Amino acid sequence: MLATRLTNFAGRSDVVVLGLPRGGVPVAYEVARALGAPLDVFAVRKLGVPGREELAMGAIAPGGARVVNDDVLDALGVTAGEFAEVARREETEVRRRENLYRGERPALDLRAKTLVVTDDGLATGASMLVAIRALRAHAPAAIVVAVPVAPVETVALLARYADRIIAARMPEPFGGVGTWYDDFSQTADAQVRALLDDAAARYVV
């Protein structure tokens, strides 16, 4: 469904598709295959509140780019030390995932490229926002956020930072990303690696 909204990017040599792991990579794989574009991974990690890890107090991306949700920090009394500890742990996980998923294959050159950045969906948008900020350092021609499902308010927020945002569905009420999937089972590391390897074998940059 998402790929049908992205036909303007098909067959272009300047397009690179990036998936946010883990769940964004299967989506990115299908988008890249439909567009005939190369695929890579961009390992963003949510910074979960200690003891309530499902609640994002921020996010972190390769190179140390961060987004901090000050409202959550203030409301729950998260200390600077607690935040720093979570950030250190997740930064280590970002490096581990990039090494695991990509292996010996170098990262794609993103300079002057149109980046189609995908995830399995958006909720608060914190992970995608930090990805956008980190990717700007690579001097791309444009950043296009493309997701299957997202709430209207998050799309409006990210539209201020991305060059374009495309959501296949923006249901109201939203409820959560998993609500809109027939199968929202967790994506394994091995599946991410297999999809990236297959995409690399099919597309020689």
For residue 79, what are the domain limits? 46-100
pLDDT above 70: residue 204: no
- Per-residue pLDDT, 177: 92
Question: Which residue among 100, 118, 136 closes a domain?
Answer: 100
Chain mean position to CA 146? 9
E strand or H helix at 149: strand 142-149
Tell me what the mean pLDDT of segment 24-47 comes to: 94
Report pLDDT digits (tens) over 117-134. Answer: 999 999 888 889 989 988
pLDDT above 70: residue 205: no
Please name which of 76, 73, 98, 95 lies closest in space to residue 84, comparing C-alpha atoms.
73
Question: Does 173 share its domain with 192?
Answer: yes
pLDDT above 80: residue 184: yes
- Give residues with Cβ within 8 angstroms of 58, minimum separation 6: 46, 47, 66, 67, 68, 69, 72, 83, 87, 126, 130
Tell me what the mean pLDDT of segment 40-64 comes to: 87
Report pLDDT digits (tens) over 66-89. Answer: 888 888 899 999 999 999 999 999
CB atoms within 10 A of CB 19: 31
pLDDT above 70: residue 178: yes
Question: Which residue among 77, 100, 123 closes a domain?
Answer: 100
Question: Does 8 share its domain with 59?
Answer: no
- Per-residue pLDDT, 78: 92
Round to whole Å and give the CA distance between 190 and 66. Answer: 27
Structure pTM? 0.87
CB 24 within 8 A of CB 44: no
Please name which of 39, 34, 87 lies closest in space to residue 204, comparing C-alpha atoms.
39
Report pLDDT digits (tens) over 141-160. Answer: 999 999 999 999 999 999 99
- Could you identify the residue written with the tokens 């791309």? 140
Q: For the chain, what is the mean pLDDT? A: 92
Question: Does 117 share its domain with 169?
Answer: yes
Round to whole Å and give the CA distance between 76 and 12. Answer: 47
> What type of residue is 109?
D
Report residue 163's pLDDT band, with 50, 70 and 90 as the boundaries: very high
